[in-house]
Amino acid sequence: MKRTRLVLTLIATTLAFQQLLAADGPALAELENHLANDPENLQLANAYRRSIIESGEYDRALRFFARLVETHTVAANAYLSYGFAHVDKIPTVGAVTQVVLAGAALSAFTRAVELRPSWIAYYTRGSSYLFWPKIFGRAPLGVADLEEALRIQQREPKRPYHVRTFLALGDGYWKVEQYDRARATWEQGLKQFPESEALRARITADAGRLAVMLDAAFDPTRRVDTDLSPLWNEP
Amino acid sequence: MTRLLVAGSLLVAAPLGPTLEQSPIRFEEIAAAAGVRTTHQTRTFDGPYADTLRMFTTGGASAAVADFDNDGLDDLFVTSSERGSRNRLFHNDGGLKFTDVTDRAGVGGGNDAKSIVADALWFDYDNDGWCDLLVVRFGTPILYRNQGNGRFIDVSAASGLTTFANSIAAIALDYDNDGRLDLLLGHYFAPINLIDLPTTKVLPHDLDSASNGGGVALWRNAGGGRFVDVTRAAGLGEHTGWTLDVGHGDFNNDGLQDVYLANDYGTDRLFMNQGGGRFRDVTATAIGFDTKKGMNVEVADYDNDGWLDIYTTNIHDEYMKECAMLWHNNGDGTFTDLSRETGTCDTLWGWGAKFADFDNDGWLDLFVTNGLRSAGPDNYIPVLVKMITAPGVDFSDLRNWPAIGNMTWSGYQRKKLHRNLGDHTFREMAAEAGVDNDLDGRGVAIADFDNDGRLDLYQTSANQPALLYRGLAPRPGNWVQLALTGRSPRDAVGARVTLTAAGRTQIREVDGGNGYAGQSTERVHVGIGDATRVDSLTIRWPDGQVEQFDVQVNRLTRIRQGEAARAR
């Protein structure tokens, strides 16, 4: 009964998005109105952020989410979305402002973890730590978060997106120079997700190729894919 | 047995990498033996913000090359910045020996209680055939007139160059083609005296797009030893960035000198000369708006396509991946940054950079200095980032910047020498060439100090000794050197040389001090590889006259506008 209600809610929400997005361009104001009443809704927030990326109105999103978390101080997902809004803006700004935005995103992700220590919160913050250059010593923090995300997912039914934890955690081990654990994690992931080309590429790459691959994966100047739709689109 | 195996492995290993002897470009560091190993001193400040102010003013180590006494050998002027410390004028005695003639020349001053020496520039402002000297300061500049007898007199007051500014760069160019060299000064801070602070809000308000810097000043040479500020009239007055270097060249081949400004904390600017004493800001259409930390402007046609390109260094380090910018001139008013494609992106914390054909193969190589502050084992970056990521912090306020103490910030960086492979790519080979020092480099000046046809290289460093690298390319190509004397301006700044040898055409322009904290020789040096003769040599003089000359290879040729070429 509970599951049926959830599915119906999801369908209704999806239809609502389609109506909102079918208009001429993204109906940002309408999405903001919906989110103001439903701050925990990651799907709405995701659609809103997708539209923001298209329109380039990053500061609008930052202002909106700042207000949202101010008025909904215990809405963990609102903080997650606020963090993602910072990440979305990063490729559009200069190197120093990127650091400022990355720092602000981390603060928002941390608040989300504090409010609700979920898989998505740990996975997000853990991955975020891995983008920081080695000099800041944040990779071990990322590894700790991703280990926690792995523990959480191991208690849950298997989901396609869980493959990301194996990828990121292996990358984290590689960044803290625990190369054997990195390989073991990727291999463990590949056993569970044999279709993952990303895991296979890491396992088969030599050290030089792997370094290039991971440098590219964590290049702060490239846009990070913050699209959360696989969370609900993948069965 | 073990020893034999080790010896055998060495024999096998040796041919894998080029040795110093095999390197096509090679240098030997001889500053001490040559008598030019002077040590720059950074300015120290008093008061609670002394540490931060010193951190933001670590420039000032510059070198400027010119043959000030017209004896056929390029001399060297080197600056220092600490209060009471003296600049040095080194006379080239030949045989790579120099004599310090500062006292006799009377050009050692400038670092007084209110002023900090930041750069220097040779130019013949009065067209009398003797190079005069401008000492650029955080303060007012000093203009020394060369009396032609080894002595200089301070003519600053009469020149009109009496406006206070935090000038850090200077070039001489004839922007209005009136035959007199004008001055373009780049200003870093807004015009606030850092030694006597009226406010603590003197730093950039934004670290990626600051607009509270000093901008530039264009001083028109009005003749009679007078300069007039024409910045606004020329269309350069709207620029208020943190100018770190200025450069010029004829980027659209129309006979007018255009200007590129490298700006720290924000967008570099490109101004095209419209004629009639006016420039037009074409940044938006020509290069776009960057958010980088422009440090250097070097201008040359690196790919021999007949259009001048621009190289500017930025910060590319572990914590900040900006890349240098090699602006390839597309010949249609636009430029494309090809630093990644050419292999010239990664210069670490770049400063001065210069193109020069170190092996005379007909392709311009690129030497880049780098390194901000080499000190103790602790790194300043994590401390700095803590400040930067604090909510609502005002970057412009000195009070918010954590003291650096003895911490290192982008220090101990190895210099970069990019050898031009002639196929739009470069190969980094500083270590092979023997120039991979890890000093906190600032300026680069290129000259053939011993007239042997192999270019030498002088590097200044902040608070550290300068280095003189003698060019020792083992198998250099043939070469041509030209010393040009124009009708007006006499030192022919802006003259365009087009030389063809063995089917390859190269262009050079005489520049008036391009490159951060380093002025290279005014001579034109062209490597021509295996070619044994020059097929054609055309000079477009600054006044537009075009002449053709015959020149010999492997020698310096003096050319006077309107006269036949005379080989030395």
- Give average pLDDT by consecutive 10-residue segment, chain A, 235 residues: 41 49 65 96 96 96 98 98 97 93 97 98 98 93 98 96 98 97 98 97 96 91 91 80
pLDDT digits (tens, 9 = 90+) for B347-369: 999 999 999 999 999 999 999 99
What is the mean pLDDT of the segment spanning B498-521?
A: 98
Is the Cβ–Cβ distance between B299 and B279 less than 8 Å?
no
Question: Residue B138: which of B212, B200, B58 has the closest Cα?
Answer: B58
Q: Do B381 and A135 touch (CB under 8 A)?
A: yes
What is the mean pLDDT of the segment spanning B183-193?
A: 97
Determine the pLDDT at residue A233.
Answer: 85
Q: CB-based contacts of B100: which residues, under 8 Å, 6+ apart?
A: B35, B88, B89, B90, B91
Helix (H) or strand (E) holding B31: helix B31-34
Q: Do B318 and A133 touch (CB under 8 A)?
A: yes
Alpha carbon distance A10, B319 (integer Å): 42
State the ipTM, two decimals: 0.84
Determine the pLDDT at residue B7.
Answer: 35
Least CA distance to B316: which residue of chain A?
A: A95
Question: Residue A96: which of B317, B410, B201, B292 has the closest Cα?
Answer: B292
Q: How many CB atoms lie within 10 A of CB B336?
A: 13
Report B:255-274 residues touching A (Cβ under 8 A). 266
Per-residue b or e along B413-423, where b marks 16 or more CB atoms closer than 10 Å to that residue's CB: bbbbbbbbeee
Q: CB-based contacts of B311: which residues, under 8 Å, 6+ apart?
A: B296, B297, B298, B299, B300, B302, B324, B325, B326, B327, B344, B353, B355, B366
Residues of A with CB under 8 A from a CB of B: 93-97, 99-100, 102-104, 133-137, 219-221
Q: Can you list the domains of chain A with their CATH numbers?
A: 12-116 (1.25.40.10), 129-221 (1.25.40)
Q: Do A136 and B382 touch (CB under 8 A)?
A: yes
Least CA distance to B392: which residue of chain A?
A: A100
Q: CB-based contacts of A222: which residues, under 8 Å, 6+ apart?
A: A91, A216
pLDDT band of B564, cuts 50, 70, 90: low
How high is the mean pLDDT of chain B?
A: 94
Q: Is B389 on the interface with A (CB under 8 A)?
A: yes
Alpha carbon distance A159, A123 (integer Å): 14
3-state secondary structure chain A: CHHHHHHHHHHHHHHHHHHHHHCCCCCHHHHHHHHHHCCCCHHHHHHHHHHHHHHCCHHHHHHHHHHHHHHCCCCHHHHHHHHHHHHHHHHHCCHHHHHHHHHHHHHHHHHHHHHCCCHHHHHHHHHHHHCCCHHHCCHHHHHHHHHHHHHHHHCCCCCHHHHHHHHHHHHHHHHCCCHHHHHHHHHHHHHHCCCCHHHHHHHHCCHHHHHHHHHHHCCCCCCCCCCCCHHHHCC
SS3 of B176, please?
coil
SS3 of B402, please?
coil
Determine the pLDDT at residue B322.
Answer: 92
**For the CA atoms of chain B, what is the radius of gyration?**
23
Fill in the amino acid letter for B132.
D
What is the mean pLDDT of the segment spanning B393-416?
A: 96
Q: Do B291 and A99 touch (CB under 8 A)?
A: no
Determine the pLDDT at residue B27.
Answer: 98
Tally of CA atoms within 13 A in the half-sphere of B233 that contains its CB: 11
Cis bond upstream, residue B542 (ω within 30): no
Determine the pLDDT at residue A9.
Answer: 44
SS3 of B26, please?
coil
Q: Do B382 and A100 touch (CB under 8 A)?
A: no
pLDDT digits (tens, 9 = 90+) for B134-184: 999 999 999 999 999 999 999 999 999 999 999 999 999 999 999 999 999
Determine the pLDDT at residue B22.
Answer: 72
Q: Do B322 and A95 touch (CB under 8 A)?
A: yes
Q: Do A134 and B318 touch (CB under 8 A)?
A: yes
Q: Is B291 on the interface with A (CB under 8 A)?
A: yes
Residue in A103, A104, A135 nearest the CB of B318:
A135
Determine the pLDDT at residue A234.
Answer: 73
A vs B, Cβ pairs < 8 A, gives: 52
User: Looking at A50-54, B9-13, B277-281, which range is the least confident one?
Assistant: B9-13
Q: Do A133 and B319 touch (CB under 8 A)?
A: yes
pLDDT band of B423, cuts 50, 70, 90: very high
Confidence check: pLDDT of B37 > 60: yes
Alpha carbon distance B307, B328 (integer Å): 9
Chain B: closest CA distance from residue A110 (Å): 15
Q: Do B208 and A99 touch (CB under 8 A)?
A: no
Q: Do B320 and A96 touch (CB under 8 A)?
A: yes
Confidence check: pLDDT of B1 > 50: no
Q: Is B6 on the interface with A (CB under 8 A)?
A: no
Q: How many CB atoms lie within 10 A of CB A220?
A: 18
Q: Is B384 on the interface with A (CB under 8 A)?
A: no
**For the CA atoms of chain A, what is the radius of gyration?**
18
- All residues of chain A having their beta carbon less than 8 Å from the beta carbon of residue B292 are 94-95
Per-residue b or e along A198-211, where b marks 16 or more CB atoms closer than 10 Å to that residue's CB: bbbebbeeeeeebe
Confidence check: pLDDT of B439 > 60: yes
Q: Do B385 and A99 touch (CB under 8 A)?
A: yes
Confidence check: pLDDT of B18 > 90: no
Higher-pLDDT residue of B425, A18: B425
Question: At CA B96, angle to CA B94 and CA B97, rounded to 5?
Answer: 75
CA A146 to chain centre: 12
How high is the mean pLDDT of chain A?
A: 90
- All residues of chain B having their beta carbon less than 8 Å from the beta carbon of residue A133 are 318-319
Determine the pLDDT at residue B565.
Answer: 52
Is the Cβ–Cβ distance between A100 and A123 less than 8 Å?
no
- All residues of chain B having their beta carbon less than 8 Å from the beta carbon of residue A220 are 321
pLDDT digits (tens, 9 = 90+) for B283-325: 999 999 999 999 999 999 999 999 999 999 999 998 998 999 9
